[in-house]
Structure 1
Amino acid sequence: MDFTFTDHERALSKRGRDFFEQVLEPLEVVTDEHGELPDAERAPLRQKVRDWGLAGINLDKDHGGMGLSMVEQTLIEEQLGRVTNGLWSAVWRAPVSLKFGTDRQIEEYLIPSAGGERRGCFAITEPGAGSDPRQVQTRADFRDGHWRLNGEKWFVTSYNASDFIIVHAHVDGDPDKPTLFLVDKPDYYTAPPNTTHSRSPKFMHNFAYDHAELVFNDTPVPADKMLGEVGQGFELTKDWFVEARLQIASHALGAATRAAEIANAYATERRQFGRAIRDFQAIEFMLADMAVELYAAKSMLFRVAAEIDSGADRSLIHSHASALKLHSSEVAGRVVDKALQILGGRGYMRENPVERLYRDIRVDRIWEGTSEIQRNVVGGRLRKMGMSLYSDVA
């Protein structure tokens, strides 16, 4: 088994690292101070993504993307994950569910999304529905030639960087009919007709774009804006979750690697009691544990990416992606926490990247499926398939 990356793969990783260092890292402090990426920086940053050849990272060439394998995507995403304040989200990923749209929807939404001319956000979570999508109360009813959406959505990430929303609703209020709908916005900041942007609350981390709360009040949606078939919404969302969980794992480990590198360098430079603090076993053991956890988690990350590229069974991929998201997000939390401890008071200063990474990384155990939900997925698969699903080498 050859774990050596090709020259092409290493070049993609370097491009991601260079983009982080030259384009994204200089925007970290201003984004943190502003609470979001300032408006004046948004259009120039979109153009830089195109100029650097990073547009359409997750799409094939027929859809206007880069045609990268999952391993190649992961190599780039891991390097982007080094940045704080969610600035990695500036390198957009068109919603994977759009690939299952009609030819017209692909032309109208997917291909422009690949080039950054359009951008979509997902509206799934609700005040009473998160981990259990069957509890979704947003409903879609077909009347007078249009679908009508009614309900409330929370945590609509990148709403103010998007010009359309993919809304998860239950047709006729029936949880056995989960369905996705494409809702156009007049522009990045204006809500669609009969839709209220209630607020964009502040969170523990600062993020490049917002996490909006929306209320749909008989919002009209043309008949041809339904994505997929009635009742297919959960299946299309599951495909998105698999991709999102790999992306989160990549970003989490990129962030943890950066924190570990900063802590490792500081442990050599910082001297107390006449010697470098890394000479004290307490610090040395923390660094060793950080290195081992990163090594194991990254091996898992690229194994799952390679399984996707090999065309492995969809159910297997879903099972392994859950395990990966669980493990990587929790490893990252432990590594960044140790890094901050090694840095001491300096690590607690907002001007220090590790402080921002500490705030950023916490949400990775929550969004796109909490750690507890991932354990439910893994446990359920063990009950059905047995331990070999995770323990076999083949």
Structure 2
Amino acid sequence: MSGLTGEQQQYVDRIRAVATDHLVSVPAVHGAVNRPLLELLGDHGLLRGLFGGAPDEAPRDAAALQLCLLRETLATITTEAETALALQGLGSYPLLQSGSPEVVERWIPGVVAGTTVAAFALSEPGAGSDAAALALRATPDGDGWRLHGEKTWISNAPDADVYTVFARTTEAARARGVTAFVVAGDAEGLSGERLDMVAPHAIGRLVFDGVRVGPEDVLGEVDRGFAVAMRTLDLFRPSVGAFAVGMAQAALDASLDWALTREVYGDLLIRQQSVEHTLAEMATRTQASRLLVRAAATTYDSGAPAAEITQSAAMAKLFATESAQWVVDQAVQLHGARGLQQGHLLERLYREVRAPRIYEGASEVQRTIIGRGLVRARQAEQEGQQ
């Protein structure tokens, strides 16, 4: 049911082999960046897979479908490696897409090698889902600016080596007054702290106390930073769905193995029709999510109109993340108490599957995007008929 070409299947098999043979043995790091894991991802070329072009070429935008295959496959085996890889892409893509050649040359090779940790700093205490309400101020300072304020819920903070930071350069302009900057992790005036979350990944808070940025640090154009953010998110939202599909598949596989070996009331668990039906629903939702994610990725790769890309990405992220939450929950229910025992695969998945419904646009935001897109499309259709 994979629907992959021979070349794509070989790519997936190679990722699975690397993850199984090398990545799962790396000791976990709770609440901080796992640099040995990142370097191993770099050594085996998986971080290079975040980007397009041949391995010996300069990195460029990746095919969205390739990114989805990479994330889904890793997630079925090791969510820690998958998340470490994905955050490298999220933090570095604005540099690659909108940075000057000097910015790209300074940071991207280290990202690919796994020696430079990147982060995407958008969310703030008062600006999560409403990203246009950013309050981090960029006040003029000569030919540059000084950044004042804070960011929170930032993955890889405060340990990252480089941040893509979104700040307000024009007051009361909402999305039209935001600029994207590249900020080094050791910049003077930048500090932060780690935040303890349900999932064990590195997430933290950043404080900007007059951090200096110059015109060479602008990503894209002044006051056009929101477009930089959306360009990256449109690419990564389907792959968040792919991450969710990978977790759902891991939960489904574990549930099938359990149902085929666990005995209850003198017979295998799978003999109970309610269990069989639950597994069928789990498999159907997982496959439907996979197909929707790949359709969204194909839409992106085809160069479809921006509105269509945004709409399909929102649908894929919404459906896949919501479905994965249900599938993992059902898997825990089938396993009973052992599925919640610390260290069990499902205990880990149960903690990690929750966050994707929030980050990179909560499910409610995706529904708003989809709904507004439907209305705009119908209104345009009606106007064309008049």
Q: Determine the structure 2 residue equivalent to 1:11.
A: 10
The SS at the match of 2:353 is helix
Indicate which of 86, 91, 96 corresponds to 2:93: 96
Q: Determine the structure 2 residue equivalent to 1:170.
A: 168
Q: Determine the structure 2 residue equivalent to 1:260.
A: 252
Deviations along 1:6-25, whole A, 9 cap, x unmatched?
22110111122223222333
Deviations along 1:208-235, whole A, 9 cap, x unmatched?
xx21111111111123111111111001
Distance across 1 between alignment mates of 2:172 and 2:234: 25
Q: Is the 8 A contact 2:31 2:195 kept in 1?
A: no
Give 1:173 deviation, angstroms: 3.4
Deviations along 1:113-132, whole A, 9 cap, x unmatched?
33334332111111111111
Distance across 1 between alignment mates of 2:67 and 2:121: 25
Distance across 2 between alignment mates of 1:340 and 1:224: 51
Distance across 2 between alignment mates of 1:125 and 1:75: 27
Deviations along 1:245-289, whole A, 9 cap, x unmatched?
122111110011011000111001000111001111121111010
Indicate which of 38, 42, 63 corresponds to 2:35: 42
Q: Is the 8 A contact 1:24 1:83 kept in 2?
A: no
Distance across 2 between alignment mates of 1:354 and 1:48: 25
Q: Is the 8 A contact 2:19 2:78 kept in 1?
A: no
Using a 3 Å threshold, how does the CA distance of structure 1 residues 68 and 184 change in structure 2: closer, same or farther? closer
Indicate which of 168, 192, 196 corresponds to 2:191: 196
Distance across 2 between alignment mates of 1:295 and 1:169: 39
Distance across 2 between alignment mates of 1:7 and 1:321: 26
Q: Is the 8 A contact 1:84 1:356 kept in 2?
A: no
Distance across 2 between alignment mates of 1:194 and 1:69: 37
Q: Is the 8 A contact 1:149 1:218 kept in 2?
A: yes
Q: Determine the structure 1 residue equivalent to 2:343.
A: 351
Q: Is the 8 A contact 1:56 1:66 kept in 2?
A: no
Amino acid at match of 1:137: A
Deviations along 1:276-309, whole A, 9 cap, x unmatched?
0111112111101001111111111111112222
Using a 3 Å threshold, how does the CA distance of structure 1 residues 195 and 48 change in structure 2: closer, same or farther? closer
Give 1:346 deviation, angstroms: 1.2
Distance across 1 between alignment mates of 2:112 and 2:351: 30
Q: Is the 8 A contact 2:120 2:155 kept in 1?
A: yes
Q: Percent identity?
A: 27
Distance across 1 between alignment mates of 2:323 and 2:162: 34
Deviations along 1:95-145, whole A, 9 cap, x unmatched?
222222222222222344333343321111111111112211111122133
Q: Is the 8 A contact 2:35 2:115 kept in 1?
A: no
Distance across 1 between alignment mates of 2:150 and 2:138: 12
Amino acid at match of 1:97: P
- What CA RMSD, in Å, does the superposition of the two structures yield over aligned residues? 2.3
Give 1:376 deviation, angstroms: 0.4
Distance across 2 between alignment mates of 1:388 and 1:171: 34
The SS at the match of 1:131 is coil
Distance across 2 between alignment mates of 1:263 and 1:12: 26
Distance across 1 between alignment mates of 2:76 and 2:2: 23
Distance across 2 between alignment mates of 1:299 and 1:378: 18
Q: Is the 8 A contact 1:168 1:233 kept in 2?
A: yes
Q: Is the 8 A contact 1:182 1:226 kept in 2?
A: yes
Q: Determine the structure 2 residue equivalent to 1:306.
A: 298
**Unaligned 5+ runs, structure 2:** 382-386
**Structure 2-normalised TM-score?**
0.90
Give 1:174 deviation, angstroms: 4.3
The SS at the match of 2:68 is helix
**Unaligned 5+ runs, structure 1:** 187-191, 390-394
The SS at the match of 1:65 is coil
Report matched runs for 1:130-145 at 5 Å: 130-145=128-143
Q: Determine the structure 2 residue equivalent to 1:189.
A: none
Q: Determine the structure 1 residue equivalent to 2:384.
A: none
Distance across 2 between alignment mates of 1:134 and 1:46: 32
> Does residue 287 of structure 1 match 2:282?
no
Deviations along 1:30-58, whole A, 9 cap, x unmatched?
52xx5246x7x623x33322332212223
Report matched runs for 1:203-218 at 5 Å: 203-207=197-201, 210-218=202-210
Deviations along 1:167-187, whole A, 9 cap, x unmatched?
10011434331101111123x
The SS at the match of 2:181 is strand
Report matched runs for 1:300-339 at 5 Å: 300-339=292-331
Distance across 1 between alignment mates of 2:352 and 2:251: 12
Q: Is the 8 A contact 2:182 2:218 kept in 1?
A: yes
